[in-house]
Structure 1
């Protein structure tokens, strides 16, 4: 995730449009300086020289400029209007760049009032430019454009050439933001021509060339952009101004990135960073470090990405720039995910997302979520990736709905305007040809043809929009089906996951209370027909396999067991990866006397296979707990959750009595003398007290034949 390299609206720092929205407290500590500043004995000439020396500082070290200008406020109170307006103009610009656009907007309103009262177009134009820049930072583009055009009109009535150049540049950039590139190009070329007439000051020319290079970048006319950029760099070097050189290098970076010249972009950023560090421009340093981290991220150089992103994070915290901090964290998160550091990557990504979400920048948040989902998917965190894609889809749908509503309203407004104009034209034509019947008929025919064409065009437009919406909905439906399929499967074994089984049982697996003697499943049990069953399986000594051979060996064992269960059981049986090394099988229909055989087949199917890993054969056994389902206690079927819990207790008994065997619950006796909760808490004690019937199936082989199942007597466990 990179910052915006080109400058906008005469504000030469990258990301000016977004960064300013985050800085709300950066300069409040300087407010007391307005009252406490010492009375310096400056004359008028000395004051003008001090203001001139502070201009470049306003652009590149706004915090220092705020403190310096605050000390000049008492001296300017008795100065001429032009001097007071210049101080107010510079001070408001420094405050805005330091992160307080609302206060800068109020100061711009004061300048406008001064200009109107004195009928001074220069002061009025400066006030409107101040308002335009502050409104831009506050995301009021309409108000910003209106103020820019008003500033241009007023500035053109003055003889202040630098002011006219700046106002013309700002008007051109407003046209650029509106997408009116021909008007923007004409304004910026006019600004360059006007700047060339300014004597002994190359700053207006540098600003105009920089803006034109950015416009050509936006228009994808890279050859012209490079031509202007070369002159812009030459002017910046001729000025011997580190700040202007840094701005030119930032524009070169943006042009190189957009034209696909990544190495050129890297060199420009490193050169820019060196200049900014010598200049001490902390905000520019923070932005450049973020851009460097993004550049190395695109090259998959994660180590360099982490280095520059950490530097950007520290720089962002230094200048209190939440957007720089958020972008640095996103780049850190993506780099850590690329390096396999999943937990740290998720933590950094989520911290960055939180900042974007609080700011409400939906397009930026959507782009970051897409990158987040892709990075999580590549790192193997499919659930996290699906969550990120769901969040991105929700934002996309919100943006699409807003854009569609806006488009419909604009179309309706345009149609109403055209309809009103047609009615006016028709009335005028009717008045002119009144009394001439033939001409009147021809006019009516033309009007009807025009209406037919308009309605036909409207129908075509609506049809195209409807078709586009249908295609988008169809693609969304396909994506939803894919995501639903992915969310129901375990990515390692391709078996159903626990969530899918819970959803299935919630809709299909419950038996209505009070129906134990009347339900279909209970009738089958009474008739000795088919019954359902639950089998819970756990791999023996799985931790030892992971500790001795590594998690890759453990994954191979889990895949083998999944394949064995598919081969042993039927297609109609639901096999679930229950969690970790546990598997659950739900058999909807099995002969009542066949549960022991199923358990035996499961045990033998696993123990008869070995897993080959790195030249070694790994023998694997498993322990199983099982029971019929529904499992009836006191004439009431147990819920599937309680049945699984009881099967889990049987599995625990299989583990504690030798492993590689299966313990099955057949039924209950005399539950009136105890409670089902007591049975669930200690199945073995319940069996010893005669409340539960158990059967054991061992995984041992006798002369190549599996051992028979045995009804478990209490003496067996004692022995």
Structure 2
């Protein structure tokens, strides 16, 4: 922590004339960087020893950022070093806060987020004592954007609103400009949080402010943001009107990329309103513009929408061919997160066209991709959290070492003034012993905290953060122990286990229609109902997305069928409540015993058995959902089964090789 004795309180001492010249330079910078550099050189020439430190810091910082934004990073880093040395000599909170904010801005621009977070730790004590609203606005706005980039929305909101409070303390030529920028940032933040009414209100405020300032350059992006918010919140007609305003401004300012995005969004809104004829014209315009701009990605997206319209208008073959071509492009060139979303729309088109086998294949691809993204995102998040923890811990340790060093230097200086050599040696020995003892205590304390942190990390690494159920990793660990016991004969040969794979029906439509908040509430309630239905030695696992896995230990075939049927009823008989919404949700399941049909698990291990259960689940999906399909045994010896039968369950059933049982769920009103 920064002691209050180390630096003087900040005073708002500035040079108004130079400050006004900096504001002018910033306006010129947006229009003509070369002319702006000439203005900046003139400003630097006016700085002298009597220039207020706060104004000098702002001018020096402008030079650093000018080099950053023009890509001259080496010059920027050299000027930044000079700036920080200058700020350290001033003993002033305002000066230190602005200098450190310049450092965060430089690191943020280079995408060095971990290093930027270290500087956030350093700047926080100074911000508490910063007097000038301009500096508090700049620093909090910058830190808020940093947290937004990292999807830490709660922290981002805290800092952006502190920046907003700082702006409201000012009344000058740049007040409205800064307020407009913050309103657009806050609107985007609220959109990321799915707070659509607040996001829309902020977007409208930003548009009004931009209109007052005649900031034409802001208008296309602000209308595009407003139209996106209206569309996501279900206000499709308003969204269409707003996007046409975005197009009007974008054409005036020669921004064809914004025109392209708005045309596609207009078509998407018409599709969501099932007004397919009205959707065609803007999408065809978007299609031509994407080709003209050589924008392959958006062209494929527009083609996907046009193909979907063909399918909905019963031109099945033509539409599905167009959609398949677009999907193939996204498989080869798109982001996996986008492909996963587009596969869902493709599956809906296949369902409408009656191609249920192909629909099942696409749903399986989408589910596998969803699981991959879920695991990748989780691993990335854990790695980044660990890096953030190490960065903040390192920064705190550096601060403590600097404080210890300063204390030691003061003690040594005091002893030299007293000129008592014997006492000096005794103090040094005592100080060294004390520091060693303190270091020993700190190491012990740090080790205890590290052990506690490791326990917490281990717990969270085995649990799903939303539902609290065990996750895929914990189940794999359990099965690894089970395999070890099998090999060591600690499992009895007559012990039968079972696997039940469960997938919620039409869950993507629930998220689309009612929002992800309700979807999360349903997942939490499903986890609780599954836990309540199990015995003490069973285990419920969130397998990924809307899919769950039950591991049933020591269960006979009759009890297995009863438990699966009871689970289907427990999941579907009572509606799920979220806020004012009430919804009945059904599920489809596939189950199998382990070992399967008495076959040695070295031939059909739990992973192959789970693959069979997965095939049984998709068989239930293809036959109407809200049911469970179980593979109870073989009608022929295992050695007579064709190789790879677990990949083609339908053929095995058709050839009467498999004993299959179907359990139908309760008759309920459900989403479809």
TM-score range, shorter chain: 0.3 to 0.5
Instruction: Report which of the two structures shows the higher radius of gyration computed on alpha carbons.
Output: 1
TM-score, structure 2 as length reference: 0.47
